[in-house]
Amino acid sequence: MKVLVANRGEIAVRIIRACRALGLGVVAVYSDCDRGALHVRLADEAHRLGPAPSTESYLRIDAIIDAARRSGASLVHPGYGFLAENPAFADACRQAGLTFVGPSADAIARMGGKTAAREIALGVGVPVVPGTPPFEADAPEAEIVAAAETVGYPLLIKAVAGGGGKGMRTVEWPGQLVDAARRAASEAQSAFGDGRCYMERRLVEPRHVEIQLIGDHGGRIVPFVERECSIQRRHQKVVEESPAVALPHETRHAMADAAVRIARAVGYTNAGTIEFLVDRDGSFYFLEMNTRLQVEHPVTEAVTGVDLVQWQLRVALGEQLTLDPARTLEPRGHAIECRVYAEDPDRGFLPSPGLVTSVTVPSGPGVRDDRGVTDGDDVPVYYDPLIAKLTVWGETRGAAIARLRQALDEYRVTGVHTTLPFFRWLVRQPAFVAGAVSTTYLDGVLAGRREPFVQPTEQQLRDAAIAAAVAAWRARADTRTTSSGTSRWLLAARKEQLR
């Protein structure tokens, strides 16, 4: 039996390894720029989808179905991103006689629209943040203003079909509203092909806490211990951990019960995640559902000992869940994950595509590295620049933080800029250590930060000083030229630092 992995990068590698553990054959797909990628090299066979742009390759439902037919694959795992939450893809797989490793197209459609999902949550008694019905991208200004008045300020504008912070704007006062609404709608249309948005009251310094769950075809749904994803940059998660910091036992079980009720209302099968916002008084509100595997699933695996990807495959093959919620809701130790991106934190986290010349990965007890690239691989400009996820486990949160610091200090990637220097700084911040963070914490501290994340080593400073002196002697320059030369050499040294 074969599984076609309709994705790329680190998640494709992760799924391939789960398939191997179950004795399943693996079929990879690739675009032209991914011909030699790690996920292609690890698969039993690989099929070309098309040119590099995702619209001509990884988003082509017809090409993926054709690859499955040609390879003889009977299951299709979508990973996350691309087509993972596209009900048309799930339905196309079904019509082609393929088993889609995920929920039904109906469940994806019902929970994929944020406003519709809110109504489902309310229908089973789960509170939601006060919000508005959706409005069209070209809605009259008066309609937008009137809707906002029912919510109050500050508020968030969100894309109905959105995710990852796209099509989202914060509005602090009425004068910002209309421009923010137009910009959010335009971004939503570009990103998702759907410019509809809605408004939601913005809670003050909320925490983002989510419940992983998995359901089988017999109607059983098993929830897992919560994950905290409050450390976000521009509404995008960058650090996740499990369990959440200082979340009462009673709240955990109440959230898990709410998540199961929502999933059961749509007949949910396979893996999914119910996301909540937690207010400062401990109240929680339904935010949205991700009808797929999450990027941060390794922290749940670390504290429960459950391989979520294997269970996705087993459920898709018709197995009944044998997991015990009494165990899946009780964490063993603490886990933290950092998303390592090919981005330059000293240039506003701009993507840093290019050739990865070398990778030095930390190891040891409690250290896990999920990577999609290795020495000599390329980070293409066409896709999300996530290159790896570093996950650590410790018996306590303090032990996990200590292990994470050591692992980050050992981790080296050369050839492209990465977010590793940023994480080395973040995990030593007092608020992070204390767990005193919210979804607005990181943007706030970054706005006031002026120092570079990448600092030259003492040896590089000495080498730069020597090189500058030699350059000055050769040019027989005056003091000003020497100073300028020194600056250039210091800058060159900084750029060459291992990242």
Q: Please identify every residue annotated as catalytic.
A: 292
Q: Which helix (H) or strand (E) holds 242?
A: strand 236-242
Cβ neighbours of residue 284 closer than 8 Å, sequence gap 6 or more: 127, 209, 251, 254, 255, 258, 276, 277, 278
Alpha helices in 22-168 (DSSP H): 38-42, 61-71, 87-95, 105-112, 114-123, 141-151
Judge whether 2 and 43 are in contact, CB under 8 Å. no
**Using CA atoms, how far apart are residues 207 and 231, in angstroms rounded to an integer?**
9
**Strand partners for 370:** 389
Sign of CA dihedral 354, 164, 103, 134: negative
> 348 to each of 262, 418, 443, 450, how far by Cα in Å?
38, 12, 11, 11
**Using CA atoms, how far apart are residues 452 and 472, in angstroms rounded to an integer?**
27
Q: 3-state class of 250 per DSSP?
A: helix
Q: Which amino acid is at 238?
A: V
Which residue in 258, 155, 244 sits closest to 213, CA to CA? 258
**Using CA atoms, how far apart are residues 408 and 181, in angstroms rounded to an integer?**
40
Which residue in 440, 464, 223, 431 sits closest to 324, CA to CA? 223
**Using CA atoms, how far apart are residues 232 and 84, in angstroms rounded to an integer?**
22
Task: Estimate to the nearest angstrom the gap between the alpha carbon of 45 and the chain centroid.
Answer: 27
**Using CA atoms, how far apart are residues 419 and 439, in angstroms rounded to an integer?**
19
Which residue in 383, 449, 110, 128 sits closest to 264, CA to CA? 110
> 25 to each of 11, 70, 271, how far by Cα in Å?
17, 14, 21
Judge whether 370 and 391 are in contact, CB under 8 Å. yes
> What tokens appear for 81 in the block?
């991103």
CA angle (453, 454, 455) in 5-degree steps: 110
